[in-house]
């Protein structure tokens, strides 16, 4: 199993971990375990990502510097942009300086302007996102 070999390379043997030994686990190993677990779940092996909040996972990926999780969250958000979530996704893209996600939101807005415009939530987009959309649209 790929995940077990990754853990063994990090010096973690899952069979020897119990509650008492996990209290002494250093942060690097803890971060590695969380990253592997979340990537495992996000690849569809144990959890449907739509059941959890990808924006919260994105925040977690930045807090713990989990690059693979960040990449997976970004891909998921890009592939699941809707009229009801594009503003929150744009805010996250702005907050975490995610250029790819920001570009995807801009393209989504331009391609779906007829459906989005009646909702009046364009005004809630971050200022930089609005400028980007206007520049692309002109």
Measured between alpha carbons, how far is 51 from 128 in angstroms, rounded to an integer? 30
Report the predicted TM-score, pTM, of the whole model to 2 decimal places. 0.66
Residue recorded with tokens 């990926």:
61
Torsion of CA 123, 120, 76, 93, to 10 degrees: 0
Model pLDDT for residues 17-30, shown as the tens digit of each residue: 444 444 455 666 66
Cα 11 to Cα 4, 6, 52, 66, 132: the distances in Å are 10, 9, 30, 18, 46
Q: What is the pLDDT of residues 90-112, one digit of tens each?
A: 999 999 999 999 999 999 999 99
d(CA 132, CA 127): 9
Q: For residue range 26-76, what is the model confidence (pLDDT) as tens digits?
A: 666 666 666 666 665 556 555 455 545 788 888 878 887 878 778 888 998
pLDDT band for position 10 (50/70/90)?
very low
Q: With a cut of 90, say whether residue 82 has pLDDT above it.
A: yes
Percent of the chain's residues with pLDDT above 70: 62
């Amino acid at each position: 199993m790929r995940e077990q070999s990754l853990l063994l390379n990090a010096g973690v043997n899952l069979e020897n971990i119990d509650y008492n030994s996990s209290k002494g686990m250093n942060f690097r190993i803890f971060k590695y375990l969380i990253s592997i677990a979340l990537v495992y779940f996000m690849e569809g092996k144990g959890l449907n990502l739509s059941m959890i909040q990808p924006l919260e996972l994105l925040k977690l990926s930045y807090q713990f510097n989990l690059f693979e999780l960040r990449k997976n969250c970004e891909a998921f958000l890009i592939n699941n942009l809707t009229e009801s979530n594009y503003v929150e996704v744009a805010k996250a893209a702005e907050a975490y300086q995610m250029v790819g996600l920001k570009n995807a939101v801009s393209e989504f807005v331009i391609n779906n302007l007829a459906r989005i415009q009646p909702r009046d939530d364009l005004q809630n987009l971050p200022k930089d996102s609005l400028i980007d959309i206007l520049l692309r649209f002109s």
